[in-house]
Structure 1
Amino acid sequence: MSNLEVEPVEVDCGAGPSERIEILTPRDVPLGGPRAMRVNRTLPQRQRSMVGAWCFVDHYGPEDVRTRPGMDVAPHPHTGLATVSWLFSGEIEHRDSGGVHAMVHPGELNLMTAGTGICHSEVSTPATSILHGVQLWFAQPEEARHGDRGFDHFAPEPTAAGDAQLMVFLGSLAGARSPVRTPTPLLGAQIDLPAAGSVRLDIDSTFEHAVLIDTGALDVADTAVAQHELAYQGVGETTLTLTNTGTDSARAILLGGPPFTEELLMWWNFVGRTHEEIVEYRAQWQAESARFGAVHGYQGELDRIPAPPLPTTRLKPRQQPKRKGLS
């Protein structure tokens, strides 16, 4: 998915000071023009721009797309990151300049790796009535970000833990492990809890974790978290407890990873390290450079999404705040 903000700001992807549970509230972002689908974005923001290597979290739907536009994101570029598509309902057609043509279905991981450069399109299909899911990015570390384009697909089996049902699509949790390799340790899982259910998960104490509430009412480590909010828990904890306090089932996405210590910039759809890199990425995209390649088979009003103008000031990372351990 593209970041379609017309005036994107540079983001220094370094997290803020750790608190036991920190609540990040989403902002509403249009996915395209004035009639476009809206998404709830909880990362990045100035309060906290990363959780581990996770640097972008969009949550959308449930959106009835039978009588209005759904997702139609024309070819757009990425550098230095990987995209994770995860659906709760609907179907999305993915095409990229690595030659991949794939469908995204509920409960199936589609992971696209940009490396030095890629472009892709995403369109909800005519078979979709309700579109509902998340789009996530994680930053590639220095040793991986100049590598090749890539694509991975994985459909995890449900795993029981306490009262919960888990689907672990990246990393490992509660005895389940994803076979998909990532250049930095990560955790990604869907957690479903019945009414009044609870689960206590053993977690890696070197990881930061965040819980995105999709549906229902959940307490995360005894802290109430509202729908669409992201609950952050810093390093130093060995367990994470989720309790469904509502009368309906609840669903959440759990993300985690060790703190990402590299200084980097994220502007529009590019992750880089310096102002000069971002300027060059933009120029190459506008010039239709071979760095990004081309998407074949996309049929839409735009052949490709033009990059927005750069800001008039120099892009530079803000100084990363120190990370504090938990008491």
Structure 2
Amino acid sequence: MTNPERDPAEIRAEAGDTTGHIQLVTPREVPLGGPRAMRVRRTLPARHRSLIGAWCFADHYGPDPVAETGGMSVAPHPHTGLQTVSWLFTGEIEHRDSAGNQAMVRPGELNLMTAGRGISHSEISTPDTRELHGVQLWVALPDDARDVGPGFDHYVPPVADGDGWAAQVFLGSLLGQTSPVTTYTPLLGAEVTLAAGTRLDLDVESGFEHGVLVDHGAVDLDGQEVKPGELAYAAPGCASLVLTAHDDARVIVLGGPPFGESIVMWWNFVGRTHEEIVGYRDEWQAQITAAGIVDGRFGVVSDIPPIPAPPLPNARLRSR
């Protein structure tokens, strides 16, 4: 997924930002684009929380009536230095990328795209999709892996269940389930559903920081109420997290050790310096401003007109 903001802000993530045990992040609405502008709710990055482990971006959308909004129609756009994680609750999206991958994003199935040194891709909801609802997440790649070649993984995690709960673990390990998908830093990603009144104790890695994004239903995380759409952050040091559902609820649980590196994130690029981001933007613009579409760092997806990069801010981009 692209960052659709016309004037995307520079995001500077500082290693070791772990203050406070439970923090709440309120989402902000961002139009995804198109004539009727499907809107997404963004909780990462936020002013006081830019990373949870290597997770650096979280968009939450729907339930979205496609007949009214036009659904998702994201033309080819570039990425560097990250992985995209697509996870749907309802609907279907077609993914195409410049590494030659074509896949359908369906509910309960993980699609993970590795951008590495550079990739471009498109995402378009299918004609039969009536409702679109899910999350789109980005993972920052560590310095020793951020120039790997582009790649793609698809995985359908089994459903684990218990008294009043069910879960699918798409990355890492939780509730006795482990995803086989390889990541470049330790990560946790899972969907958990809870029946009203259910209390679920999650045994987690104490060295991880964690995030709980509530899709629907109100829940408590370690006694802190988290409303639908909010993201609750839990600092490292906890060997367990307690989820209590006030209503039937669904949450996305994210985690990982503090990233330990400073990054600069602007538009669809993750880098380390101002010069890198400027270089990525220049290369993308050079690819798409020749007569149509030409090959380069980001490859070619299709003959669909690609998305041009927005102007850079006047100030120098700074890492921190």
Deviation sequence 1:88-121 (CA, Å, 0-9, x none):
0000000000000100000000000000000000
Distance (Å, rounded) in 1 between the aligned partners of 2:144 and 2:174: 26
2:265 aligned residue: 266
Matched, 1:314 2:316: yes
Equivalent runs, 1:21-36 vs 2, <5 Å: 21-33=22-34, 35-36=36-37
Distance 1:198-1:19 versus aligned 2 partners, 3 A rule? same
Distance 1:168-1:297 versus aligned 2 partners, 3 A rule? farther
Matched, 1:279 2:283: no
Distance (Å, rounded) in 2 between the aligned partners of 1:82 and 1:99: 16
Distance (Å, rounded) in 2 between the aligned partners of 1:36 and 1:112: 25
Report the alpha carbon displacement of residue 165 of structure 1 after superposing the two structures with TM.
Answer: 0.6
Equivalent runs, 1:1-327 vs 2, <5 Å: 1-14=1-14, 16-33=17-34, 35-246=36-247, 249-288=248-287, 290-296=296-302, 298=304, 303-318=305-320
Deviation sequence 1:158-178 (CA, Å, 0-9, x none):
112453211000000111000
Runs of 4+ in 1 over 6 A off after TM superposition: none
Deviation sequence 1:175-206 (CA, Å, 0-9, x none):
10000000000000000001111100100000
Structure 1 unaligned regions, length at least 5: 319-327
Report the alpha carbon displacement of residue 46 of structure 1 after superposing the two structures with TM.
Answer: 1.5
Distance (Å, rounded) in 1 between the aligned partners of 2:11 and 2:35: 25
Q: TM-score, normalised by structure 2?
A: 0.95
The answer on whether the counterparts of 1:10 and 1:317 sit within 8 Å (CA) in structure 2 is no
Instruction: State the secondary structure of the residue aligned to 2:59.
Output: strand
Which shifted more, 285-294 or 160-169? 160-169
The answer on whether the counterparts of 1:51 and 1:256 sit within 8 Å (CA) in structure 2 is yes
Q: Letter of the 2:264 partner, please give it.
A: L
Distance (Å, rounded) in 2 between the aligned partners of 1:65 and 1:207: 37
The answer on whether the counterparts of 2:3 and 2:268 sit within 8 Å (CA) in structure 1 is yes
Distance (Å, rounded) in 2 between the aligned partners of 1:93 and 1:33: 17
Structure 2 unaligned regions, length at least 5: 288-294
